[in-house]
Amino acid sequence: MRYLVTGGTSGIGRACADHLSRAGHSVWITGTTAQGVAAVDGVQGGSVCDVRDDSAVDSAVAEAVAGLGGLDGVFANAGVDGAGRPAAELDSASFLGVLDVNTVGAHRVARAAYPRLSRPGTILVSASVNAQRPEAGFTDYNVSKAAAVALARSLAVEWSGEGITVLALCPGYFPSRMTSAWLEDPVTSAELLSHIPAGRFGDLREIGETVEFLLGPSARFMTGGVVTLDGGRSL
């Protein structure tokens, strides 16, 4: 299968790109810098792309299709964290900036992939456990990921009849550049673990395997589904 992973140069995106490649799939990634894209080994290629830029997204998807000889699935994974400020102190420009990447950016990727994606094909939107169980101090991130879930479900309503499966994935805490500040701090990590029934953080291998399944043919009737992978954090 031929897959595009946006935000594939680090964290969850990199882990999923690595897993998909090792599993024998053809993978194209995007990242925000040429250096970051070039550093990812084992994939068929990559594009420098800021998902806030319509033309950059369209070009990246076109390059992926050309480089892979077609496209069977997209993991719209590129995202940013919130400002980490109380809602009363959150300025509109910062809030809109998070929405532009995490929600509108995912729509840009899906929109560019839509006319080029094989039928049947799959679009998997990366959301977060925060879409279902918000955290204080992260209103911008919580809202952007809840909107990403609504985006996936809305696209599923419109596109499923054309053979495009659209799903949302809501990961909990996995080791990444975005989460390292919390997971590596003993006090913060202990607090986070106290809210996870499984008593541990996720293993990147687990999310790679899950993404492979969701992008594949066995998950096609799950269209419109919202899949949690959070050790019970959302309960």
For 20, residues 6+ apart whose C-beta sits below 8 A from its C-beta are 3, 5, 27, 208, 211, 212, 215
Q: Where are the alpha helices (DSSP H) in the chain?
A: 11-22, 34-38, 54-68, 92-99, 105-113, 139-159, 180-183, 186-193, 204-215
Give me the catalytic one of 3, 114, 141, 173.
Answer: 141
Give the position of tokens 């595009």: 4
For 216, the token pair is 């594949």
Q: Give the separation between CA 26 and CA 174, rounded to whole angstroms.
A: 24
| Residue type at position 170 | C
Judge whether 141 counts as a catalytic residue. yes
Instruction: Name which of 205, 199, 206, 185 is nearest 231 in CA terms.
Output: 199
Catalytic residues: 141
